[in-house]
Chains A and B, each alone.
Chain A
Amino acid sequence: DTGVSQDPRHKITKRGQNVTFRCDPISEHNRLYWYRQTLGQGPEFLTYFQNEAQLEKSRLLSDRFSAERPKGSFSTLEIQRTEQGDSAMYLCASSPIGGTNYEQYFGPGTRLTVT
């Protein structure tokens, strides 16, 4: 396993379209996180899974956003009716079972551009 992977790396879409991103965490990691980073800002927490359970959601995650992790392995983040303000880098991270100090391993991100 070479690390956390995300697909696609880049996505350009028109306003109003739906998009879905995928994250494959490191295989033995049971925790998975989604973040969003906009220009000039640090990553902002969106949501967190432990196995298949979504344990926490940020207020940033509007009802147009939905995240799933159906089998406790890969996760998807869907944005419906995209808006220009959704343009950002979407980062996924995972952390191991029993990990301390919140060590997280990041993927390379999916850069979304909404035109």
Chain B
Amino acid sequence: ILNVEQSPQSLHVQEGDSTNFTCSFPSSNFYALHWYRWETAKSPEALFVMTLNGDEKKKGRISATLNTKEGYSYLYIKGSQPEDSATYLCAFYSSASKIIFGSGTRLSIRP
């Protein structure tokens, strides 16, 4: 059974602080890993598509790393801002064309 886990489930961070959270996925049959940001009442928005072991991607204050051999990815947010409040989802894409989402990390930024 393929399982994708995200931790923590929720996180409360003071504005200006940096934070990170984890996505764990099967280390076999890996094809790609996506990170999405999902704000309330909006569409999930793709942040990163990661395919190679050791990938590091960055978009502004947000970055992500990928370790396919051990089956994890980290998402980092530097200097959190209120607009970063959202649920962050990771999605594991297997070489068998299976798509499995984690249950998300709900991030709240305190002003």
Contact = CB atoms under 8 A, between A and B. Distances in A.
Interface of A: 3-4, 33, 35, 40-45, 56, 91, 101-109
Contacts of B46: 103-105
B54 to A, nearest CB: 16
Nearest to A42: B101
A102 B43 contact: no
Top-10 shortest CB links A-B: A42-B101, A106-B44, A106-B43, A42-B103, A101-B32, A43-B101, A108-B43, A101-B49, A102-B93, A42-B102
Contacts of A45: 98-100
Contacts of B6: 42
Interface of A is mostly: loop
B85 to A, nearest CB: 17
B99 A109 contact: no
Interface of B: 4, 6, 9, 31-32, 34, 36, 41-46, 49, 51, 89, 91, 93, 97-104
29 contacts: A3-B43, A35-B101, A41-B103, A42-B4, A42-B6, A42-B91, A42-B100, A42-B102, A42-B104, A43-B89, A45-B98, A45-B99, A45-B100, A56-B97, A91-B44, A101-B34, A101-B49, A102-B32, A102-B34, A102-B93, A103-B46, A104-B34, A105-B43, A106-B36, A106-B44, A108-B41, A108-B42, A108-B43, A109-B43
Contacts of B91: 42-43
B45 to A, nearest CB: 8
Contact of A101 (B9, B51, B89, B97): B51
